[in-house]
Amino acid sequence: MKLTINVTQEDIDKGEQLDCFTCPIALAAFRVISGTPWMLVGAYSRYLRLFDSSITVWTHEIDIEWPDRVRLWVMGFDCGDEMQPISFEVDTDDGVTVGEEGV
């Protein structure tokens, strides 16, 4: 299934540099992908990692590959560059619960 993730200016304004849980990509992805308490965005990887966890024990993990331009966007954000909103599509598997924006 393909999902579109739209990073808004509000996500950029609220996002935190060098924080893989609260960067703009993670904030935007939470609107599209639901049912996961943890979402990890790695600037130096090509994946959005979803965790279903209980305190510190990871019980389920899904990696969603994203386009290279998204990785570069995250790196720019982390470096303090002025960023513009971005949209991109990801392919997901059946283990992902689609949120309100993903419908």
Reduced to 3 states, what is the DSSP secondary structure of residue 74? Answer: helix
User: How far apart, in whole angstroms, are the C-alpha atoms of residue 71 and residue 59?
Assistant: 26
Q: Are 54 and 72 in contact (CB under 8 A)?
A: no
Look at residue 62 and tell me if it is in a domain.
yes
Look at residue 27 and tell me if it is in a domain.
yes
The domain of 7 spans 2-92
For the whole model, what pTM was predicted? 0.77
Look at residue 101 and tell me if it is in a domain.
no
Greater confidence (102 vs 48) lies with: 48
Look at residue 103 and tell me if it is in a domain.
no
Give 90's pLDDT tier (boundaries 50, 70, 90). confident
Look at residue 99 and tell me if it is in a domain.
no
Q: How many domains does the chain have?
A: 1
pLDDT in tens, 23-69: 898 888 888 876 665 566 766 666 666 655 444 444 555 667 778 88
